[in-house]
Structure 1
Amino acid sequence: MNEPDSVFDLLVRSWGSLQSFSKTVKAEEVDLREDVDMDDARRHILLFSADLYNRRRRHSSLGYGPPAEFAARYTAAQR
């Protein structure tokens, strides 16, 4: 019987995705914007990650489709 993954195991496996996300945020959001202060920067990065990156941006690991579309297909297939 397999034991559940530890938090460390999950972090190690997702490290590449985290690095990719950080690189994308820097290239597509941070470097292209002049924020007023840290609160403004945080707000824009949160909006970027919640809206553009997670809902609309195409991801190669998901067959070049946006995560929202992938999730909808997955949910429909589970029914």
Structure 2
Amino acid sequence: MAMQAQDIEDLIRARFPQAKITITDLAGDGNHYAAEVVDESFRGQSRVTQQRAVFAALGDKMAGKNGELHALALTTRVPE
């Protein structure tokens, strides 16, 4: 079952309530998304640590072949 962009944003927002979050459906199929998450809490963290935190917020939605979210191109950064 495909996920909606709003569902992805809601999961990320629960962990990063002050973040600027942009979700884009790359293929129009509800399975291949890009997300940009801009949050102050990322300051001083490596990019890998930032991205792991976002993926953790998605929980099991990306878990293997049974995950609802097939692919997520993720960009994280701190606000300018």
TM-score by length of 1: 0.28
Structure number with higher strand proportion: 2
Structure whose CA Rg is larger: 1
Structure number with higher helix proportion: 1
Higher RCO structure (Cα 8 Å, ≥6 apart): 2
